[in-house]
């Protein structure tokens, strides 16, 4: 369904998943208009790495901010498909700066929906998160699972989903909500558990600081998540639906960290850092997604096992050119 005659717009393209999605779209032959958040350094985030290897003219990088409605309208003009990934995503920081999450996640999504409607786009994929479900009340978690806002971050994503679906119901905007579970891989922020552990080990730490190791997560390698986004953009007749991108499996944080240490061939001790613990009622204890809807509507299937994905992620982080971009001594909220 993606129109080859029009550029594909990606917000949040300078971030972890967004930069990988841009690479996947370029590899599939699409022209991409990628949004990097405006800053006075003219830094494109992870798009710096992408741009260095894609110089055939199909990648256009634009700097701006989804919090500005006028900018959003100019950004999507002439695009056929929009992938809206721009968001503030770090849960710990949402405890101390919730206003900024409302501005970026809710108002930013409103601005993008208004812009997409004005531009007459053919589809807008709005990115949700498995955090909207909170701790699983049933496993695997289907799209009909109740929403449980256990952090300011998850509350704003619930609000953003509702804004997007209201535009489908009120204005027939061709919206699809993509809901990825626990994506990991190269370039991920050190505020997430897997890169936190790998980056500490890669820089020689033998005592690794962690948060609660008992929760379970449904981890998905970033390439699988990107393939899920593209599958949802290409599928017919799925407007107005929210759809999980999930492996359908779960593993505890403790077992994940033991696997990472084994893969990296290191003997390490894990210590709980109180700064890394969520408030007790805010911690999501269990996440495991039901992927039957996406596998029924598309040909998408998870392709990368956790072992394979963790090996690829560790190999990327131990590269000195990559690890030097991380401040492993500092807890990244």
Q: Hey, which residues are catalytic here? A: 153
CB atoms within 10 A of CB 251: 17
Place of tokens 């061939």: 265
Q: Is 137 exposed, middle or buried (0-12, 13-18, 19+ CB in 10 A)?
A: exposed
Q: Alpha-carbon distance 152 to 160, whole Å? A: 12
**What phi, psi does 308 have (nearest 5°)?**
-65, -45
Place of tokens 């955090």: 131
Q: Alpha-carbon distance 208 to 226, whole Å? A: 30
User: Does residue 301 contact residue 307 with C-beta atoms inside 8 Å?
Assistant: no
Q: Alpha-carbon distance 92 to 234, whole Å? A: 35
**What phi, psi does 10 have (nearest 5°)?**
-130, 115
User: Does residue 184 contact residue 259 with C-beta atoms inside 8 Å?
Assistant: no
């Amino acid at each position: 369904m993606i129109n080859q005659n029009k550029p594909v717009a990606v917000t949040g393209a300078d971030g972890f998943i967004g930069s990988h999605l841009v690479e996947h779209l370029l590899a599939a032959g699409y022209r991409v208009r990628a949004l990097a958040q405006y800053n006075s350094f003219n830094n494109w985030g992870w798009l710096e790495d992408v741009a260095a290897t894609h110089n055939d003219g199909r990648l256009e990088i634009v700097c701006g901010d989804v919090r500005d409605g006028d900018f959003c309208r100019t950004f999507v003009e002439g695009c056929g498909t929009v992938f809206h990934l721009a968001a503030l995503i770090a849960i710990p920081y949402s405890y101390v700066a919730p206003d900024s999450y409302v501005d970026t996640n809710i108002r930013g999504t409103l601005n993008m929906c208004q812009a997409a409607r004005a531009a007459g786009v053919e589809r807008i994929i709005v990115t949700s998160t498995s955090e909207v479900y909170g701790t699983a009340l049933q496993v695997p978690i289907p799209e009909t699972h109740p929403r449980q806002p256990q952090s300011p971050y998850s509350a704003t994503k619930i609000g953003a989903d509702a804004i997007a679906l209201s535009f489908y119901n009120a204005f027939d905007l061709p919206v699809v909500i993509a809901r990825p579970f626990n994506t990991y891989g190269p370039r991920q922020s050190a505020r997430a558990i897997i890169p936190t552990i790998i980056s500490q080990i890669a820089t020689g730490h033998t005592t690794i600081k962690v948060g609660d190791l008992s929760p379970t997560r449904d981890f998905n390698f970033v390439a699988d998540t990107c393939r899920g986004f593209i599958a949802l953009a290409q599928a017919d007749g799925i407007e107005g639906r929210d759809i999980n991108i999930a492996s359908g499996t779960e593993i505890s944080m403790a077992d994940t960290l033991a696997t990472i240490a084994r893969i990296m061939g290191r003997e390490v001790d894990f210590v709980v850092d109180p700064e890394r613990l969520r408030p007790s009622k805010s911690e999501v204890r269990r996440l495991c997604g039901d992927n039957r809807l996406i596998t029924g509507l598309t040909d998408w299937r998870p392709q990368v096992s956790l072992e394979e994905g963790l090996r690829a992620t560790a190999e990327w982080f131990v590269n000195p050119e990559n690890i030097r971009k991380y401040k492993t001594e500092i807890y990244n909220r």
